[in-house]
Amino acid sequence: MTIHRSMSQRKDVPKCRPFFEMIDLKEDKLPQARPPKQFAPDPVAKTWTVPELCEAYGWPKGLEGGGVIGILAMGGGYQPSDLEAYFEGIGQPMPEVKNIVINGVGNRPNQPVSEDFDPDVEIALDIEVAASAYYVATGQPAKIRVYWTDMDLRSMAPAIQKAAADGCSVLSISWGAPENAWEWLFWKFGQNVAVQLEATLIRAAALGMTVFAAAGDREANAGEAQKTVNLPAACPHAVACAGTSKTRDKEVVWNNDPGKINGIGTGGGYSSLFFPQAWARGAPVGIGRMVPDVAGNADKNTGYRIFVHGSERVTGGTSAVAPLYAGLFAAFAKKSNGFVNPILWANRDCFQDITEGNNDGYVATIGPDPCSGLGVLIAHELANLFTTQDAPAPYKA
């Protein structure tokens, strides 16, 4: 059973204010989930196609597959012609993509919020990375289900619940908000939305769905005045995905602005809402659950080549890591193990430790740490772990 801190005992409501001022929310307006902002890569960046990155991470081949990939979308949209151009460009067949509208307007491309906040880039990234990663592992076109909601944080749980009920084996979530935004909903409306979200994740895991969530792109402060982490990544029943900067010969913690608080780089740290988890053996002790669990390439300067708005574009962020892992785990079988965090933490030899870099709050060390977690996947080792006859049984919460 996951233990939650009681928000009713917290007395630091004023600390919520910097977040809402930063994103222009009035007190009578609801906090909204956001994907990371998109930033142009350095012109001399060495970037990756997804098949190239999969090869570098030791991707398995010829897996059984059959898992359905769910993607949570809280705004934006995609053009089928962009997807067709992307998959033709990397020599893969088109995935099967279906749209399920939970609330909001559904697939509605070409509605950018601002120059550096275009949700269409996020949607293209999620679909293209997850589907192409799956194909590399299986040789089969992926089945993608996009679950559309509005940006209200309370919309996440119903979408997660629907994806699990539909039989998705994995769900990729690239959206989120700092923990104090979720606390604000409790103080404003008496709804403990963070606890409700974790309860939904527990039920989804019981149905065999594994959820991968981006840890965020604003370093250890998550864009706030103090260290914090993002939900849903900090929920114990989500696999929290952090970011690295991966070149052809080196991989370090992703941090584009060393020494700059609230710069661009991977999120990570300790939850103030969820206690440390017993299965996270070896994690440095902090006030709460350590985030992240895993890491992968996220730096825009070593980013992912995608196709959106009629042309190729390079992007990244921890929101690229979540669909990358989702594509791999969907390749294992029709049903995943659901709650995999205890299995991952018990099999640290399936990860390459990241020992260099920091997120301006925490420093990478030998072993797990709050900026790279267990490290980056050794994909064929994870495949062996989850697909052999001796594969671990689903972990019971």
Residues belonging to the binding site for Ca(2+) are 353-354, 367, 369
Are 365 and 355 in contact by the 8 Å Cβ rule? The answer is: yes
CB atoms within 10 A of CB 18: 17
Residue count of the chain, please give it. 397
Cα within 13 Å of Cα(284), Cβ side: 20
Catalytic residue among 272, 319, 336, 372: 319
Tokens of 274: 């969820």
Angle between helices 193-206 and 179-189 (to 10 degrees): 110
Q: What is the pairing mode between strands 143-148 and 68-73?
A: parallel
CA trace torsion 68, 169, 244, 267 (10° rounding): 120
Binding residues: 353-354, 367, 369
Catalytic residue among 126, 183, 251, 360: 126
126 is catalytic: yes
Catalytic residue among 120, 122, 224, 299: 122
**Pick from 223, 120, 239: which is nearest to 178 by CA?**
223
Residues 6+ apart with CB under 8 A from 139: 61, 62
- Using alpha carbons only, what angle is made at residue 257 by residues 252 and 258, rounded to the nearest 5 degrees? 65
Tokens of 147: 């679950």
Distance of CA 50 to the CA centre of its chain: 16
- Using alpha carbons only, what angle is made at residue 79 by residues 78 and 82, rounded to the nearest 5 degrees? 105
CB atoms within 10 A of CB 81: 10
**Pick from 158, 133, 140: which is nearest to 148 by CA?**
158
27 is catalytic: no
166 is catalytic: no
The catalytic residues are 122, 126, 319
